[in-house]
Amino acid sequence: MTKKRRALRVIGIILAVLCIFFAVINIIPPKKNVENNPFIVGEGELPMIAAHRGGGACNPENTMLAFREAVKTYNVEIIESDLFLTKDGYLVYNHDDYIDETCNINGNVSLDEVKTLCEDESKRHYIKDMTLAELQMYNFGYYFENKSGERIYKDESNPQSKGLQIATVEQLFEEFYESNPELLFIVEIKDSGERGYEACRILYETLKRYPEYKDQIVVGTFHDEIEAELKAKYPDIHRGAPMGTAASFIITQMLKVNIFDSGDFTCLQIPTDYDVGITLNLAKSTYIDRAHRRNIAVQYWTINDEETMRELIELGCDCIMTDDPELLKSVLDDYRSRG
């Protein structure tokens, strides 16, 4: 046998071994991340609606009014929002760590003026520097515009009666615990360091008073130390995949070596595409199918157009996060009407 033929034979054997290896690791059923995952829909079922910030396109974001309308009017299954710790130890819902752009704390000025003001970070009113009582003085529907472009809550004199104050975790749980015990929650701990640790502790202690919700909440964070805190001290709480963990999962799925992914999260929360120098399309059934093999729920954010909603429904995802639960409900109702 010539050297050339021997080399070709060796290469052939190596390729055959690699093919067998990849076939085997994709046949072996992977270990489930969690045994029971309330965020996964059944095969053939439509995805759940997650009201992003309570549905900020329909009602003032992160207010009790928005949360109530999302559940009662748009029949959402999941409330999604971010959590910050106040100066006196309450967890409140807000997207940013300051409140200037969602309430009237700066008086009767335009939103553009407020955004210009907040370019100077020292002029911002931060949640960490305010008590709950101070935060509740303001109208968090002040800058909200409805779909007709009207600021319908600008002159509201009694924001508390309309549910336009900043909302706490306790208020939200208490509001729906009896009427909607099946409600699910996606939250992100936004504080880092010691404040983030305290936020985790308070959330966990609050859930003890609403035990049915403890298995119906998934907690995420962008801070490595908070992720470690959640894993170490609160292992019985569902966790979303941090950015690095989510990226690792996607890469192992792309390379078809998902058996080597060591993530232990409950929900994969991803956009439809991600730019890493090149644009990766993440809206693929293969990612959803491979996640489901691990009993991981796949949740896409933040989807506000009908075309993408329908694309994700057809792919079989578990949840669509949207600022516009009214639109998504209409799309899903159309699917239901067609049987």
The DSSP code for 240 is B
Question: Quick check: 15 pLDDT over 70?
Answer: no
Q: 276 CB contacts (<8 Å, ≥6 apart)?
A: none
pLDDT level of residue 25 (50, 70, 90 thresholds): very low
Higher pLDDT, 108 or 23: 108
pLDDT level of residue 24 (50, 70, 90 thresholds): very low
Distance CA(24)–CA(229), nearest Å, equals 36
pLDDT level of residue 32 (50, 70, 90 thresholds): confident
pLDDT of residue 187: 98
- For 96-110, the pLDDT digits (tens) are 999 999 999 999 999
User: Minimum mean pLDDT among 48-52, 220-224, 251-255: which range?
Assistant: 251-255
The DSSP code for 183 is -
In one letter, which amino acid is 334?
D
Q: What is the mean pLDDT of residues 129-145?
A: 97
Question: Quick check: 20 pLDDT over 60?
Answer: no
The DSSP code for 117 is H
Q: 109 CB contacts (<8 Å, ≥6 apart)?
A: 117
Q: What is the mean pLDDT of residues 257-281?
A: 79
Q: What is the mean pLDDT of residues 112-129?
A: 97
Indicate the average pLDDT of the chain. 90
pLDDT level of residue 141 (50, 70, 90 thresholds): very high
- For 301-339, the pLDDT digits (tens) are 999 999 999 999 999 999 999 999 999 999 999 999 987
Q: What is the mean pLDDT of residues 67-79?
A: 98
Q: Is the dihedral of CA 46, 47, 50, 55 positive or negative?
A: negative
Higher pLDDT, 123 or 249: 123
Q: What is the mean pLDDT of residues 200-214?
A: 98
| CATH number of the domain located at residue range(s) 39-94+167-337 in this protein | 3.20.20.190
Q: What is the mean pLDDT of residues 219-223?
A: 96
Q: Provide the residue ranges of all domains of the chain, joining segments of one domain with +.
A: 39-94+167-337
pLDDT of residue 253: 75
Hey, what are 213's tokens? 């919700």
Q: What are phi and psi of 68, to 5 degrees?
A: -65, -45
Question: Quick check: 18 pLDDT over 50?
Answer: no
Q: What is the mean pLDDT of residues 256-270?
A: 77
pLDDT of residue 310: 98
CA-closest candidate to residue 199, choices 189, 208, 214, 210: 189
pLDDT of residue 250: 83
Of the chain, the percentage scoring pLDDT greater than 70 comes to: 88
pLDDT of residue 276: 63
